[in-house]
Amino acid sequence: MSFRYILKQAAKKEEVTVSVAGAEDLEVLHAVHMAISSELANFILVGDERKITELIAANFPELVESGSVVIRHAVSSAEAAMKAVKAVSEGEASVLMKGQIETAPLLKEVLNKEYGLRTGSVLSHVALFEVPSLERSIFVTDAGMNVEPDLQQKVHIIRNAVEIAHVIGINLPRVAPLAAVEVINSAMKATIDAAALTQMNRRGQITGCIVDGPLALDNAISMEAAKHKSVGGEVAGRADILVVPTLESGNILYKSLMYFGNSQVGSIIAGAKAPIVLTSRADSAQSKLNSLALAICSSN
């Protein structure tokens, strides 16, 4: 399930508009330009109008007269976040994207009771990695939102990731709740939660996937490791979704895959009324484009 495939699927979606909060950033505008060139979406660019216009004129002049771009001025990050979220909540756009602003003001508006994008679900970070050494893609969740999720939050985290997996064509994803070991240890909360999640899946409380854990990382992704350690089951060695026990461990795995594993990544925030592209300001334009494609595929 490569990003090339996901980009092609995103291009098949019709009339998608992305609302960008804080668009006065070269890498963000580079991703916008790439997306428009690939006919993925139209864009509402919210932020400092003068800076956005100058950056476009200097770097992407073909967008100056483009009907695919609308610029809306905002005098502050707070106003940019508010206007960008309102564009989604009022139906002008179906995807929200974070630009050159802090995460906190954007999420504050996302969670605004009056016009935000709240649902009954937990918001969670879902990242898809195209890993060269695995020769396949794999999801990691949650590496960006929930610091130390409890059992019920992990249920929502799995459901959000499974929904995204379904969207890109993985009909019955294999879900591995990760821990340091495969046995249940009362001193290790991750193993207890993993066992409970497995049982909840077997009883039909978590559907649309196969959950089996606890699994250590090696036994979740490597058939050879699983066989060597005599770890059986339908998920061992073949996991599609890795559920990390904490944000800290997820962040380390995320960055290890990027910097040590030379992986391509795309990530979104799921669980809201619309997908949210919440990439790091340090992410490349290609990562932002991958995230946009994933979000567009997930949009209604």
Q: Which of 35, 295, 292 is nearest to 164 (CA)?
A: 295
* Residue 121 neighbours by CB under 8 Å, 6+ apart: 156, 159, 160, 271, 272
The tally of CA atoms less than 13 A away on the side-chain side of residue 299 is 30
β-strand pairing of 276-277 with 95-98: parallel
294, containing H or E segment = helix 285-298
Order of strands across the sheet that contains 124-131: 69-73, 42-47, 17-21, 95-98, 276-277, 264-270, 124-131, 136-141, 241-243, 174-177, 210-211
Predicted local distance difference test score (pLDDT) of residue 135 = 79
Cis peptide before 142 (omega within 30 of 0): yes
> For 4-54, what is each residue's pLDDT tens digit?
999 999 999 988 999 999 999 998 999 999 999 999 999 999 999 999 999
**pLDDT tens digit at each of 300 positions of the chain:** 789 999 999 999 988 999 999 999 998 999 999 999 999 999 999 999 999 999 999 999 999 888 899 999 999 999 999 999 999 999 999 999 999 899 999 999 999 999 999 898 899 999 999 999 887 899 999 999 999 999 999 999 999 999 999 999 999 999 999 999 999 999 999 999 999 999 999 999 999 999 999 999 999 999 999 999 888 899 999 999 999 999 999 999 999 999 999 999 999 999 999 999 988 767 788 898 999 999 999 998
267 and 289 Cβ atoms separated by less than 8 Å: no
* Residue 136 neighbours by CB under 8 Å, 6+ apart: 1
